[in-house]
Structure 1
Amino acid sequence: MDLFEPSASFDTRPLAARMRPQALADYVGQEHLLASGRPLREAIERNTLYSMLLWGPPGVGKTTLASLLAQHLGLHAILLSAVTAGVREVRQAAEQARQQQRTGQRTLLFLDEVHRFTKAQQDILLPYLEDGTLIFIGATTENPSFELNAALLSRLRVHVLKPLDQTALMSLIQRALKEPQGVQQPLALSDPQQLALCHAADGDGRRLLNLLEAAADLADPQGKLSDGLLSEVLAHRPQRFDKQGDVFYEQISALHKSVRGSAPDAALYWYARMLEGGCDPLYIARRVVRMASEDIGNADPRALSLCLSAWDVQERLGSPEGELAIAQAIVYLACAPKSNAVYLAFKQARQATMGQESLEVPLHLRNAPSSLMQQLGYADGYRYAHDEPEAYAAGEDYFPKTMSPAQYYQPVPRGLELKIREKLEHLRQLDAQSPLKRRED
């Protein structure tokens, strides 16, 4: 017998593949979909399964659920992945489905990573969904609102799968330790060690089983594993994060909203989460500058300078000095007085110019660097503010003649903007009292 030839009883498949449940009753997690009375459970019990999209993070059971649904309902199952399959394979699956229809059996087509099909490729599914050739289940980790075309999405019911909770993960561990197809060598884990594995899995059942298999490989012949060795197994524990994907934008949104909500501790948490997940600190620095203008504004103008300085530190020194400087800026923004008055004013001003004809600059506001321009009346009647009382030309009008003056900027009664608000109110009183109004209100 070859020393390196595995015995017939040794299953060389990864633990995650061996532990894939064989019956719907063994499926763990997603109770919000499969609990009694839920729409999907009702459809299963009545054998009225519909085409759907399973949207969720990796390792939560999308492929497994589709396979078990086909098995439970006696459907002819065709499992494809958009990573390796294309339009030709979908057409072949549809032809198989038609053949099965002639025998009275329905077909379930499962397409994993459906977002990898271009939106044009996704159209190939439409006629088969329309005429009932097959039941389609797609799976994706990406936001279907952006990755699926509207025609396909309108024909599917979207079910969101959630990360597995601690109860579901502990159940997987117990099954893997006890069942014959589970861990194939002795492994005895304490309750704290099992809990550490669950935390490291971060809601991903596949990751949990991979970690468990790695732990079994390091255990002694009696199945015991020291905490030190377990720490080595769990040493690389990336947070759930996808650059330019949903989780990416969810976390930057949480960071921004924490700053806006004056919650420095929460803001630091999301900042650390993004760094741990591999986010470029320069991206966060750029977004922090945006926060300074959008949410603090003139309530504390120093915030913008501090954020630009933090960005500069990151570019000049890199990590960890730059990351700390960005953290300092984030805490400052969270604690600073808040005002979105400039943000709203700029937004209104932009909207006012959209679709508007090109209104001419009034002659008195034009520069007159040449004698011809002076003869044409450029700058005629312009009042130099520094020569006026309080350096303010009371009653002057700086808008186009055919446009009614607008008031976009509304300073809030907080921080420096409280003073700005008082100043603008005073200037408006001077305007109201001025005999030199260029036009009547």
Structure 2
Amino acid sequence: MTDLFAREPKKPLAEALRPTSLDEVIGQPHLIGPGKPLRLAVESKTPHSMILWGPPGVGKTTLARILAHSFDAEFIPLSAVFSGVKDIREAVDRAQAVLQRDGRHTILFVDEVHRFNKSQQDAFLPYVESGLLTFIGATTENPSFEVNSALLSRAQVYVLNALTDDDFKALFARAVASGVLPGLTFDDSALATLSGYADGDARRFLNLLEQTRTAAGARHVERIDTDFLSEVLTVNARRFDKGGDAFYDQISALHKSVRGSNPDGALYWLTRMLDGGADPRYLARRLVRMAWEDIGLADPRAARIALDAADTYERLGSPEGELALAQAAIYLAVAPKSNAGYKAYNEARAFIRQDVSRPVPVHLRNAPTKLMKELGYGHAYRYAHDEPHAYAAGETYLPEGIEDHRWYEPVERGLEGKIQEKLRFLRQLDEETKAPPRS
């Protein structure tokens, strides 16, 4: 009689097809190809501590398991989400026991290592230094920010890439060869759609393939096309972490597309972020920032359009209000560019922070009382409107010692080109006319 309680659960397709050797791994040729770092480590039987950094579903855990098996090492997996210092100490005790009993080395694999705080990371650092443990960490976040420097200095960082369309074709071929898709055929367009839905994630691709197989069986369908996929698949948002690297990388790409005067790039990244779940209000604030940082006075309408787009979104919400944000991004991208005002502000602020507190020149001071007038406040001040061109040529407006200092130098693009012409004219007047001596 079969013991029902001894049965194991049916493995998901992603687990059933998990590679067991480097030759079975799809993708990451820069790490596992001939003469590449992880291939050389396996061939030389020389383990070393490392951090595998990349998006979800690209093989970080799989590679760690393969490496441990290749080195004939004890494999202790921990998840930083569920583990603490107590679990690390138990892993150390186990590693010491295995070493004494079998003489075998231990690989400690920490998934999502970026979730360990400093004290948790410090807990296994001495055992990595002593050689008791070889540490392999997996993370979707930039190790430079999330892993403490002591551990980072002892581990080689390897960057894993999202899978490509060709990788997904190879993965699909393996699934077909394994017999897990009996009687099913896929249109090329359907396979391309699945690859797009997977968004570089092998686990997601196989899960979608498994959902498709289940739905096809329930509906007695043998040929899979894009219409069928659109009916039966519930697709999550694309790879996007609102607080992680993907978020900041895409914001950076949006900003640089605007700065680089590429409307298509700006529109693409804005739409990608909206599709991924970014807060449209946050994007609106960033567009306003871009208008002042990268366009400024070259086209003052840019800031107004960005603000109007933000206001429109507040009134309409999603999805209608997103159109205003998209058009604002396009306008900012095609507008003339100038960072002259941005640079001037930063340079003036830096100067003031390191400078002494210079007094306001007497002729610029307000004189609301008799005493202040007697002290000379406001004396010999020249009222610009009474001067030719409404400009008091030769007058000084900066404190003594920095009268000729200039921070703002407009560019020749857009409105700033005209501003530049005016400043040149006024400075020429300054050269021709000197302010009268103070009495």
Q: TM-score, length-normalised on structure 1?
A: 0.93
* Counterpart for residue 424 of structure 1: 423
Shift of 1:403: 3.1
Query: For residue 176 of structure 2, what is the aligned residue in structure 1?
Result: 177
Task: Call closer, same or farther: CA 1:438–1:154 in 2, change over 3 Å.
Answer: farther
Aligned-pair CA distance for 1:357: 2.0
Give me the whole-angstrom Cα distance separating, in 2, the residues matched to 1:239 and 1:226: 21
2:198 to 201, 225, 228: 201
User: Aligned residue for 1:331?
Assistant: 330
Matched, 1:150 2:149: yes
Alpha carbons 1:78, 1:110 under 8 Å: kept: yes
State how far apart, in whole Å, the 2-side matches of 1:306 and 1:191 are: 43
Q: Is the CA contact 1:396–1:438 (under 8 Å) kept in the aligned structure 2?
A: no
Residue aligning to 2:392: 393
**Whole-angstrom CA distance in 2 between matches of 1:315 and 1:78:** 51
What aligned pairs does 1:359-374 form with structure 2 within 5 A after superposition? 359-374=358-373
CA contact (8 A) 2:46 2:71 kept: no
Q: What is the CA distance between 1:25 and its match in structure 2?
A: 2.2
Point out the more displaced range, 298-307 or 375-384: 375-384
Q: Deviation at 1:404? A: 4.6
Distance 2:190 2:316 in 1: 39
Give the equivalent residue in structure 2 for 1:128.
127
Q: Helix, strand or coil: the match of 2:46?
A: coil
Distance 1:292 1:222 in 2: 53
Q: Distance in 1 between matches of 2:197 and 2:259?
A: 31
Find the aligned partners of 2:327 and 2:430 in 1 and give their Cα distance.
Answer: 43
Q: Deviations over 1:104-160 (max 9, x none)?
A: 211100000101111232111221121111100000011111111111111111000
Structure 1 letter corresponding to 2:369: S
- Of 29, 32, 36 in structure 2, the residue corresponding to residue 31 of structure 1 is 29
Give the corresponding residue for 1:318. 317
User: Is the 1:211–1:233 Cα contact (8 Å) retained in structure 2?
Assistant: no
**CA distance in structure 1 between the aligned counterparts of 2:67 and 2:436, rounded to whole angstroms:** 77
**AA in 1 matched with 2:22:** L
Q: Relative to 1, partners in 2 of residues 1:269 and 1:11: Cα closer, same or farther, differing over 3 Å?
A: same
Distance in 2, Cα, partners of 1:423 & 1:192: 60
The alignment status of 1:353 with 2:390, answered yes or no, reads no
| Long gaps (5+) in structure 2 | none
2:110 paired residue number: 111
Mapped to 2, the partners of 1:107 and 1:393 lie a distance apart of: 80
Q: Which runs of 5+ in 1 are unaligned?
A: none
TM-score with structure 2 length normalisation?
A: 0.93
Structure 1 CA distance for aligned equivalents of residues 32 and 258 of structure 2: 38
Query: What is the deviation of 1:74?
Result: 0.5
Identity score, percent: 55
AA at the equivalent of 1:269: Y
Change in 2 beyond 3 A, CA 1:50/1:345: same
2:414 maps to 415
CA distance in 2, matches of 1:437, 1:79: 81
In structure 2, what is the Cα distance between the partners aligned to 1:395 and 1:437?
Answer: 8
Aligned structure 1 segments of 4 or more residues deviating by more than 4 angstroms: 5-8
Contact preservation (8 Å) 1:63, 1:139:
yes
- When residues 38 and 437 of structure 1 are mapped into structure 2, their CA distance, relative to the original with a 3 A threshold, is farther
Per mean C-alpha deviation after superposition, the further-off stretch among 199-208 and 357-366 is 357-366
Match of 2:15 in 1: 17
Report the alpha carbon displacement of residue 21 of structure 1 after superposing the two structures with TM. 1.7
Which aligned pairs between 1:40-439 and structure 2 lie closer than 5 A?
40-102=38-100, 103-179=102-178, 182-183=180-181, 186-220=183-217, 221=220, 223-225=222-224, 227-436=226-435
Is 1:397–1:438's contact at 8 Å kept on the other side of the alignment? no
Residue 119 of structure 1 contacts residue 147 of structure 1 at CA under 8 Å; is this kept in 2? no
Residues 1:190 and 1:322: Cα distance change in structure 2 (over 3 Å) = closer
Give the whole-Å Cα distance in 2 for the aligned partners of 1:222 and 1:272. 35
Aligned residue pair count: 434
Q: Quote the Cα distance in structure 1 between the aligned partners of 2:416 and 2:355.
A: 31
Question: What displacement does 1:50 show?
Answer: 0.7
Cα deviation for residue 234 of structure 1 reads 4.1
Secondary structure (helix, strand or coil) at the match of 2:109 reads: strand
Tell me how far apart the structure 1 counterparts of residues 352 and 57 of structure 2 sit (CA, whole Å): 49
Q: Identify the range of structure 1 (428-437 vs 340-349) with the bigger mean alpha-carbon deviation.
A: 428-437
Paired with 2:16 and 2:159, the residues of 1 have a C-alpha distance of: 25
Instruction: Call closer, same or farther: CA 1:354–1:438 in 2, change over 3 Å.
Output: farther
Q: Alpha-carbon deviation of 1:204?
A: 0.2
SS class of match (1:219): helix
Amino acid at match of 1:158: V
TM-aligned CA deviation for residue 341 of structure 1: 0.9
Q: What SS does the aligned partner of 1:20 have?
A: coil
Q: CA deviation at 1:418?
A: 1.0
Deviation at 1:98, TM superposition (A): 2.0
CA distance in 1, matches of 2:115, 2:423: 55
Kept in 1, the 8 Å contact 2:22–2:39? The answer is: no
The whole-number CA distance in structure 1 between the counterparts of 2:59 and 2:21 is 13
* Cα-Cα RMSD: 2.2
Q: Which AA in structure 2 matches 1:195?
A: A
Name the CA shift for 1:213/1:339 in 2 (closer, same or farther; >3 Å).
same
Instruction: Report which stretch shifted further, 292-301 or 95-104.
Output: 95-104
